[in-house]
Amino acid sequence: MKRNKPLALVAGAALLTLAACGGGSSDDGSTGDDGAKRDFGGQEGGTKDAERQGPAVEVEGATAGGTVTVYLPGDPGPDTLDPTAGWSVTGNSIQQALTSRSLTQYVRDEDGQPVLVPDLATDLGTANEDFTEWTFTIRDDATWEDGQPVTADEVAFGICRSLDSEAFPSGAGTEYSKTFFDGAADYEGPYTGKDPKCEKWSGISVDGQDVTIKMAVPFPDMDYWGAFMAMGPAPLGNASKPPNYGNKPLSNGPYKVDSYKPNEELVLVKNDQWSADSDPGRHQYADEFVFKFNQDQAKVDEIMLSDNSDSQTAVSTALGSDKYNDANGQLGERLVQQTSQCVSTLTPDYTKITDINVRKALAYAYPYQDVWIAGGEVPGVTRVPANSVMPPGMAGKKEFFVDGEQITYDPEKSKALLAEAGYGDKPYPITMVFYEVDPLAVAGQEQITKGFEAGGFSVKAIPVQDSPYNIWLDPDNKVNKKLNLRGVNWCSDWPAGSTMLPPLLKGGAVYNTAFFDEPSINDEMDNINTLPLEEQADAWGALDEKIMTEYFPIIPTAFRNDLFVFGSKIGNPSGDGSIGAPNYKDLYVMQ
Amino acid sequence: MSAETAGPETLGSLSTEPEHQDPNSQQAKEISGKSPMRIALGRLARDKIAVICAIVVLFFIFCAVFAGPISSVFGVSLETPLASERVDGLNKGLPLPEMGPPNGAFTMEHPMGVAPRTGEDNLAYWLYGCRVSLLIATTATIFASVVGVIIGLLAGFLGGAVDKMLSFFIDMFLTVPFLLAALTLAPIINDRFNTADNYGTIQKIALVVVLSIFGWMGTARLIRGEVITLREREFVQAARVMGMPTSRILFKELLPNLAAPIIISVSLMLPTFVALEAGLAFLGIGVTDGVSWGQTILKATNLTFFREYPQYLWQPLLGIVALVLSLNLLGDAVRDALDPKTRR
């Protein structure tokens, strides 16, 4: 899942993460002298509860009424509210929690862990033996904001829409529906394929309240994919035609769209047709949610720390690193640290840097702490050392270390490894890019260059003014052809290794900028998808360890965390472990 | 940039005669026998503001020229340190107490402290930033005024079709929005040269070219106007009658009479370019390697840093303000000194 930030910030962050990578010393949590020891809102691989029924468990002490204002610093928000088109942390976190229901959903349990529970379906779906056919029974008491019931036909039509990759080019359906659903490859979708009733796609069938989806390949994670709002209902016919539907989608959650100005503001008000009994996960405490996009970070920080009447009922989705100490000291529980299930990596070109010792030398020559500090991160808080690709808490993740302990900055060790690989006599040349428009990215690159040179490398850092992703992902780019070190930031779409390892390390994957391509590993990835469900998580974890210890094709530099700030009158300040956003479902305004 | 660096109305006119004076007065006797330049220099030397400004400007020039030696005297350098050795990542990225302000006492190792987040030495960056600033502004001023003077001379003296054509070019360049052009050019330069080893130098040359291209029109217009009045004067007519070649008339007869407006436009162009260089660096175009006052200001304009460590912002800011202000005042003083109508 992508991070919805403006180009410059993403690119800067990308470089930093590219630069700012995993290893580093092992101070975790905050060690600020005036701050409380802070626990990470983590997620430990998602449990499931197929039996959960509405209404959702009441939040202790919650009161109704009030308006929650959410500031999103430096975040332009979603371009469209069409549930099928959404594939960003910002848009999905808001809509899935408040307006757009789907087959399944996550709730936060008492320990802060996400639990997958039913939503529009009565359970988490029933699969056949080899996960090639999934059946969901749609509940009969869910309603649209106009009072009409949500029907199985509408759910089927919504799912069918996700196959239209031309109408929704940036939707998550282009990745998952298109890959896994039977016959999806040949079906252009209801709009592009001129099939407004979705009659030409045979992969889905509706029988009473049952929706059955056939898969082209085994898809054991369908219940997780069902938590995306793209796997929800859409009104039949012209009512949901894109792009107009994206301005004011019909809501079926506890809130409905009152007004929406892209990149500026989204106002959600109570949907009086939503019935709490039909929904196992959502609440309807506040009267109104106001989302303010593209806010200035420094301004929002001042508002949130001032605790004035504006900020008491407000939430901010980010905190400037320079404010961390003040916030940590002043805010207590109202500053929430949430793992965003993202990893930052450096990817040495597997076809050019062929010796594993050189790749390990890079990992030892990378000054983790220094790059984080120079790049404006708080070491141990917004960036923590990483040991492998799978983020902490993901089901099956193993706590192993490639060399027995966490790799940290150690230029002597780097030199020794280079000597072992036969490059001891002269510096090993590294060519990489950095985003020169952002001074933080430039400062981060200077630290990397410094560290690499101390570790026995010679660095040619090419300044670019385009997003580094545009360089790394373009095979014809003349700069890209010269690089032997790249980087990627990747976040999981659901808590399974299948959304982390194959996109980064399978031969031919778009974001596999290391060009790592080992047939045996590729086969193993294909095999894991066919394993029994309960063995898959451990298999991904084992594969993660195997790839890292045997090949070390990718240098994880950091796991990323988000900081959320809640006003003093916002009840139940917490993060949503499934997506890296505030836990909108359970917020309320103290009266 | 499209504004003229100096307009004729502020200059006084050299073509009009000085007001009538009694040739036997004390003042007139003093002046007689001195060249106009001597008179002007004498006036400048008596102008206290001009002298102070000249000293300030000389100080900056000294810093720029000897940035290297001064740095080594203080034992500082541009070299990037490991950030964690000098700043505290858990304390807002501010410098460690032993590095000096804001959390510690002044230290001779880093006389102006170190930068938050990166720990780079402020004195070294200030000195080399001064050098970059003056180098770019001076070079651009030289190019812009040479081009401006030549175009202005030709347009004014030749007149007719040549004047029309050159005036058209002047107007055309005045219509191009400077900032937009600079913003467009930065990625093009980057795309073309980013793999070159001397990218930093190319970037600075490009900046000089951009500043010159958009800086010569004011001078050209000014000179053209002056030449148009001068070319009808008797000494020029006489030279023509004697059959002197045009180039000789231009450079031997006209140019010396234009010294005053040229000096004035140069002295006002310099501070403009200093400010522009910093402004562009602040916007992230122009110099991007961090060694520029504008880039330091960009890093320092952060509410937390300003509240806790205001020196970090004040250092480059004072540099720019002092340099631009003294260059401007000095320019004004030169104008006053050269203008025969000014009497103080």
Q: What is the pLDDT of residues A141-169, one digit of tens each?
A: 999 999 999 999 999 999 999 999 888 88
In a domain, A7, yes or no: no
Q: What is the pLDDT of residues A190-230, one digit of tens each?
A: 998 888 888 889 899 999 999 999 998 888 889 989 999 99
- Split at pLDDT 50, 70, 90, the class of A526 is confident
Nearest CA distance, B207 vs chain A (angstrom): 16
**Selection from A344, A341, A342, A340 nearest residue A513 by Cα:** A344
Amino acid at A59: V
Q: Is A484 on the interface with B (CB under 8 A)?
A: no
Chain B residue with Cα closest to A300? B303
pLDDT recorded at residue A454: 93
Binary contact (B82, A367; C-beta < 8 A) = yes
Q: What is the pLDDT of residues B80-100, one digit of tens each?
A: 899 888 988 888 888 988 888
In a domain, B5, yes or no: no
Chain B residue with Cα closest to A298? B303
Q: What is the pLDDT of residues B300-310, one digit of tens each?
A: 888 888 888 99
Assess whether pLDDT exceeds 60 at residue A55.
Answer: yes
**CB contact set of B146 (below 8 Å; sequence gap of 6+):** none
Verify cis geometry, omega within 30 degrees of 0, for the bond prior to A243.
yes
Q: CA angle A432-B191-B278, nearest 5°? A: 95
CA distance B189 to A467: 16
Contacts of residue A320 in chain B, CB cutoff 8 Å? 302, 304
pLDDT recorded at residue B30: 61
Assess whether pLDDT exceeds 60 at residue A19.
Answer: no
Contacts of residue B191 in chain A, CB cutoff 8 Å? 465
The two tokens of residue B153 are: 């001379």
Contacts of residue A437 in chain B, CB cutoff 8 Å? 284, 288
In a domain, B231, yes or no: yes
pLDDT recorded at residue B20: 59
Q: What is the pLDDT of residues A23-53, one digit of tens each?
A: 233 333 333 333 344 555 555 556 888 888 8
pLDDT recorded at residue A432: 94
CA distance A507 to A526: 12
CATH of the domain at A454: 3.10.105.10
The two tokens of residue A239 are: 């009512």
Total of domains in chain B = 1
Assess whether pLDDT exceeds 60 at residue B201.
Answer: yes
Contacts of residue B186 in chain A, CB cutoff 8 Å? 465
In a domain, A526, yes or no: yes
Chain B residue with Cα closest to A329? B91
Residue A490 and residue A359 in contact, taking contact as beta carbons nearer than 8 Å = no
- Split at pLDDT 50, 70, 90, the class of A331 is confident
The two tokens of residue A137 are: 């029974």
Total of domains in chain A = 1
Binary contact (A378, B284; C-beta < 8 A) = no
In a domain, A553, yes or no: yes
**Selection from A94, A93, A107, A88 nearest residue A3 by Cα:** A88
Q: Is A451 on the interface with B (CB under 8 A)?
A: yes
Q: CA angle B75-B77-B82, nearest 5°? A: 110
Residue A479 and residue A434 in contact, taking contact as beta carbons nearer than 8 Å = no
Q: What is the pLDDT of residues A104-123, one digit of tens each?
A: 999 988 888 888 999 999 99
- Split at pLDDT 50, 70, 90, the class of B337 is confident
Size of the A and B interface in Cβ pairs below 8 Å: 102
Higher pLDDT: A536 or B12? It is: A536
pLDDT recorded at residue A6: 33
Q: What are phi and psi of A43, to 5 degrees?
A: -150, 135
Across the interface, which of B84, B89, B290 has its CB nearest the CB of A442? B290
Binary contact (A325, B91; C-beta < 8 A) = yes
Scored b (16 or more CB within 10 A) or e, A512-532 reads bbbbbbbeebbebbeebbeee
Residue A178 and residue A220 in contact, taking contact as beta carbons nearer than 8 Å = no
Binary contact (B190, A372; C-beta < 8 A) = no
Place of tokens 């004040």: B314
pLDDT recorded at residue A589: 94
pLDDT recorded at residue B166: 94
pLDDT recorded at residue A411: 94
pLDDT recorded at residue A30: 31
How does the average pLDDT of chain A come out, rounded?
86
pLDDT recorded at residue A243: 86
In a domain, B74, yes or no: yes
Binary contact (A442, B288; C-beta < 8 A) = yes
Q: What are phi and psi of A34, to 5 degrees?
A: -105, 5
CA distance A351 to A512: 12
Give the range of the structural domain holding residue A384, as residue numbers without chain letter: 338-561
**CB contact set of A12 (below 8 Å; sequence gap of 6+):** A375, A435, A437, A438, A440, A441
Most confident of A4-8, A35-39, A324-328, A357-361: A357-361
**Selection from A498, A488, A494 nearest residue A554 by Cα:** A488
Amino acid at A369: Q
**Selection from A572, A577, A574 nearest residue A588 by Cα:** A572
Binary contact (B304, A320; C-beta < 8 A) = yes
Assess whether pLDDT exceeds 50 at residue A342.
Answer: yes
Nearest CA distance, B320 vs chain A (angstrom): 20
CA distance B128 to B108: 19
Q: What is the pLDDT of residues A480-513, one digit of tens each?
A: 999 999 988 888 888 888 888 988 898 888 788 9
**Selection from B75, B21, B82 nearest residue B343 by Cα:** B21
Amino acid at A277: D
| Least confident segment among A531-540, B69-78, B108-117 | A531-540
Binary contact (A374, B91; C-beta < 8 A) = no
In a domain, A52, yes or no: no
Chain A residue with Cα closest to B86? A370
Distance between alpha carbon B197 and the CA centroid of its chain, in Å? Answer: 28
In a domain, A306, yes or no: no
- Split at pLDDT 50, 70, 90, the class of A284 is very high
Residue A1 and residue A461 in contact, taking contact as beta carbons nearer than 8 Å = no
The two tokens of residue B308 are: 């806790």
In this structure, the number of other CB atoms found within 10 A of the CB of residue B79 comes to 10
Binary contact (B93, A373; C-beta < 8 A) = yes
Assess whether pLDDT exceeds 60 at residue A345.
Answer: yes
Give the range of the structural domain holding residue B181, as residue numbers without chain letter: 46-78+121-342
Binary contact (A373, B92; C-beta < 8 A) = no
Nearest CA distance, A217 vs chain B (angstrom): 43
Assess whether pLDDT exceeds 80 at residue B31.
Answer: no
Amino acid at A8: A
Q: What is the pLDDT of residues B42-83, one digit of tens each?
A: 888 888 999 999 999 999 999 999 999 999 999 999 988 998
Binary contact (A30, B295; C-beta < 8 A) = no
Q: Which helix (H) or strand (E) holds B158?
A: helix B122-158
Q: Is A509 on the interface with B (CB under 8 A)?
A: no
Residue A427 and residue A414 in contact, taking contact as beta carbons nearer than 8 Å = no
| DSSP string computed for B32-82 | TTS-HHHHHHHHHHH-HHHHHHHHHHHHHHHHHHTHHHHHHHHT--SPPPP
How does the average pLDDT of chain B come out, rounded?
86
Place of tokens 């005045």: B174
Q: What is the pLDDT of residues B255-264, one digit of tens each?
A: 888 888 898 8
In a domain, A546, yes or no: yes
High-pLDDT (> 90) share of chain A, %: 49
Average pLDDT over residues A59-65: 90
Scored b (16 or more CB within 10 A) or e, A429-444 reads ebbbbbbbbbbbbbbb
Residue A160 and residue A189 in contact, taking contact as beta carbons nearer than 8 Å = yes
CATH of the domain at B187: 1.10.3720.10
Nearest CA distance, A575 vs chain B (angstrom): 23
Contacts of residue B90 in chain A, CB cutoff 8 Å? 30-32, 325, 378-380
CA dist list (Å): A522 to A219, A346, A424, A509, B79: 17, 21, 34, 11, 45
Q: What is the pLDDT of residues A541-589, one digit of tens each?
A: 999 999 999 999 999 999 988 899 999 999 999 988 788 889 999 999 9
In a domain, B114, yes or no: no
Binary contact (A463, B199; C-beta < 8 A) = yes
Residue A191 and residue A167 in contact, taking contact as beta carbons nearer than 8 Å = yes
Binary contact (B187, A466; C-beta < 8 A) = yes
